[in-house]
Chains A and B, each alone.
Chain A
Amino acid sequence: MTFEEFAVARLPGLVRFAAVLTGERALADDVVQETLIRASARWDKIGGLDRPEQYVRKMVVNEFLSWRRRSWRQVPAGSGGDVDDRRSPDHATGHAERDALLTEIAKLPRRQRAVLVLRYYEGLSDAEIAEAVGCKPGTVRGYASRALAALRVELRPEPHEGGNLTIGEVIR
């Protein structure tokens, strides 16, 4: 699969994912652009993977998580320089409770937000999320439970699919 073929087939899904991950159109656009530029430069490797879309999705997550660190030129949230469409209520559907929930999600630390999006929007297991976020599965559960507690979400015990049994972690 060439990079162009990949982009045509996967970009619509990728921009939707980035929109949910970032919650803002401008940031989603930036994050996807940066990711694709870097992915295309290494396409000889990525294109040969079984599931290149998974690797690119991981790159999008990394880009989002590291965005603030690198991009100090970003207009700080709430300073009015950019349309912050996270906070505009969705009058069309009139779901006040849902908008309240989105407002609270927007306040979560990025890593917690990314874990929620990967778990509930992408439907990944904790082991898969750990791989995408670059941490241990236990840490994923820590982030998820803190995020859900902050959002006051009631949890029914619901086992998440485990990954392969693998050896003790590499020291980080």
Chain B
Amino acid sequence: MRTENDVRDALTTLERHAPDPDAVLRAVRERSAPRRRTRWWASGLATAGAVGAAAAVFVATAAPAGPAPGVFRMPDGAAGSATGTGPGRNVLLTAATTAAHASPVSGKYWRTSTVTGNFRRVGSGDDTYLIVQRTRDEMRTSRSTGQMTGYHQSLGTQLGSARDRAAWRHDGSPTSWEIGLATEISSPDGYFDEADGPVGTTPGKRTADFGGDSTPGKPYMIGARELSPEQLRDLPADPAQLRKLILSAYDAKAGDGPVDAYLFSHTPDVLAMPVPPAVRSALYKMLADLDGVHAQGRVTDVAGRKGLAISLNTHYQQCADRGADQTSTLRPCTVQQRLVIDPETTRPLSRELRYVDPPAGEPWHSPGGLFSYAIYQD
């Protein structure tokens, strides 16, 4: 039997394949030599000071100019509420009953599309403002073989709200932004695939990803497990066992937060999978047993669709936000997760994360301010 030490030793022997650092640096210098002056003034991400520093050795690449950003608009009635109208247990138990009587998923393929919007803080000093970085992930899986094709596309960036427009103009009306350490909001894992380099108002190309690193034939990941379509169909219709499965990747020490908040945030993705009616029903029963779940009644979600909302508020002692000086500050905050479901199909419509109490000293967040959303589409 092999040990972790064997892995460590084996990996270390690969150091012998290291290229010569001097040769690498020479090649980098050669390839980075300025060929022509970049139109840096057209690039929103390059302030005069920053370009001055970068141009001392290399010339920064300008991001392509894009159209002026649109503004994220909250549909009427989608503003969210801090408390909710009452306990959410009954709403969830009703959903469980509805789900149990729904017809099973049919069809050769299962398609889902998820649009996510993540608010990022850009600009500097008094001109700090929020932008929304939007991406769409699509997935098509064969229900017989489990073969999966995914597509990923950046949908371009919007201003967070109309009140961000003034700060955006002060910032030089950029159409692209450097996304990286300094723009992170409230999360240790706030990095995105696009994190390195600029994001702009221009949508990106839709690119195919044939299953990525998932095990072939097992496209559904729940907790630490990858499941085939058969395994998904054979899931136990038992709230306790489903809870255990979703928690199989949970680790409080690694910053996964309170168990209930974790379950509330990880269950919607499972509800969006083609699980049997009895399993969907059991998932709702499991959510009904979480402490502090509130009903918010009939609402409009961020995509403007009507549905039933349930929410869970969680207080955290330490919310991370990297300031413009790129150091993390850790302050208490309260976050509301809201799940909007279609009461007829019991499929999830959207998830939203809002600050009920933003971390102190962060004027760019308002109470109730949305900072992340996901829209599930068929």
Contacts and interface: CB of A to CB of B under 8 A. Distances in A.
Interface in A1-50: 2-4, 7-8, 11-12, 14-16, 18-20, 22-25, 28-29, 32-33, 36-38, 40-45, 47-50
B317 interface: yes
A41 B58 contact: yes
A107 interface: no
B10 A42 contact: no
Contacts of B57: 2-4, 40, 43
Interface string B182-225: 10011111111101110000000001010011010000010111
Chain B's interface size range is 35 or more
Given A130-B189, A151-B7, A33 B28 contact: yes
A162 interface: yes
Interface of A: 2-4, 7-8, 11-12, 14-16, 18-20, 22-25, 28-29, 32-33, 36-38, 40-45, 47-50, 55, 58-59, 62, 66, 69, 85, 90, 93, 97-98, 101-102, 105, 109-112, 116-117, 120-121, 125-127, 130-131, 134-143, 145-146, 148, 151-156, 158-172
Contact of A120 (B4, B23, B116, B333): B4
B9 to A, nearest CB: 7
B13 interface: yes
9 contacts: A11-B25, A22-B17, A62-B193, A97-B6, A138-B254, A142-B224, A146-B215, A160-B254, A166-B255
Consensus secondary structure, chain A interface: helix
A95 to B, nearest CB: 8
Interface stretch (B64-72, B80-88, B100-108, B245-253): B245-253
B226 to A, nearest CB: 8
B371 A170 contact: yes
A126 B251 contact: yes
A153 B10 CA distance: 13
A112 B213 contact: yes
B342 to A, nearest CB: 19
